[in-house]
Amino acid sequence: MDLATLSAKIATGRIGGTLSQLVPATPIWEREWDVCCVLDGCRLDLMHEAAAAGHEALPSPDAVGSLWSVGSQSAEWMDRTFAPEHREEMARTAYVTGNPFSSQSCEHILVTSDDVLPLTADDFGVFHEAWRDGWVDDDISTIPPEPLTDAAIAIWRHRRKLGIDRIVVHYMQPHAPFRSQPGWFFGSADIEHWGQFTDGDDDDDLDLEALDPADREALEALADAEDDADETDSMNDPWLRLRDGDLSYEAVWAAYRDNLEWVLDDLTRLLANCDGRVAMTSDHGNAIGEFGVWSHPPGTPVPALRRVPWAVREGRDRGTCDPALPTGLRQRGADGTERTEDHGDDIESRLEALGYR
């Protein structure tokens, strides 16, 4: 076993999990903010790079600070951010999320507790799972930033009526899938058949020569992956494909940077339509080989995963857009507002599209 493999096993195993709990993390509740924008999976150096390029949503690079996140993966971050000891703050906070882990019990993630997930309307002053209605299956399968920004602006403008004085907006970008590289994410973006070029019934009629080179290459890669369980597990995770040599560092980083610009571009709209102190941070980063670790496994104390950005801007509501409050908005203890339909299949397929299954 080489050193990188050994260090990865330590970092992501029981020893790493124990050390991870000892990292002096800072819950977002300990910082000052009115609107906290969580940019899922954003590395600190990526945020510095975008600030150095002068993106208008960000302050100068010197003003982009950091904190140690409470988790190295989204479900772990939710579990610790929304833990029972923070109930008082949560009761006056709106949570708008694009991350489907909000409705997962996560019993398969050993570093989470049994006390937090799945989240419910009773946990917050206002709770809106934007991913339920805002998810799109276009070139890639994800929730773009626009519906979250719309919901955040409308809720923030109605904060007094809704009885809240803070809002957390959990965007999915810059987390994969990457808008600039849909071909990396293996096939149809149909939410029900992610990763498939056919429904399985027409394989004999599939003409490989009729496919364009990119689709043919991806289909061949899928066929190879079926023979290797580990590769199948990683085929929607660009960080693991980078590890395996399937993708180049330069290409992955460029696509990752583009996804950050995607969400930052929409944050300029939020800053122009929300009064108050707007913080930008992340739930976790992404490891690219540090201590032999790749992607963002839970319970991992690696700084590339746990040291995340913290940048603050002052928002000013100039009224440049006027979104409506989301339909079916759920408030703490409100009667008749909870959804009753079963979204289990949607949750699983959307987590798969993000590379979690």
Cα dist from 307 to 68, 83, 195, 256, whole Å: 4, 20, 32, 18
pLDDT by residue, tens only, the chain of 357 residues: 666 666 566 556 556 555 666 678 999 999 999 999 999 999 999 999 999 999 999 999 999 999 999 999 999 999 999 999 999 999 999 999 999 999 999 888 888 998 999 999 999 999 999 999 999 988 899 999 999 999 999 999 999 999 999 999 999 999 999 999 999 986 433 333 322 233 333 444 455 566 666 555 555 554 454 444 444 446 689 999 999 999 999 999 999 999 999 999 999 999 999 999 999 999 999 999 999 999 999 999 999 999 999 999 999 999 999 999 998 888 876 443 443 334 445 656 666 666 665
β-strand pairing of 287-288 with 276-281: unpaired
Show the tokens assigned to 19: 């050390």
Report cis status (omega within 30 of 0) of the bond before 24: no
Residue 329 near residue 337 (C-beta atoms within 8 A): yes
Q: What is the pLDDT of residues 236-277, one digit of tens each?
A: 899 999 999 999 999 999 999 999 999 999 999 999 999 999
Domains in the chain, please, with CATH?
3-195+247-353 (3.40.720), 199-235 (no CATH)
pTM: 0.81
Query: Residue 33: its pLDDT value, please?
Result: 98
What is the Cα–Cα distance from 251 to 254, expressed in whole angstroms? 5
What are the b/e assignments for 116-132, b being 16+ CB within 10 Å? bbebebebbbbbbbbbb
What is the structure's pLDDT at 346? Answer: 63
| Predicted pLDDT of residue 7 | 58
Kindly compute the dihedral angle of the four CA atoms of residues 103, 36, 48, 241, in this order, to the nearest 10 degrees.
Answer: 0
Q: What angle do CA 191, 193, 198 make, to 5 degrees?
A: 140
Residue 9 burial (CB count, 10 A):
15
Query: Are residues 40 and 175 in contact, defined by beta-carbon separation less than 8 angstroms?
Result: yes
The helix, strand and coil proportions of the chain, stated in percent and rounded to the nearest 5, come to 45, 15, 45
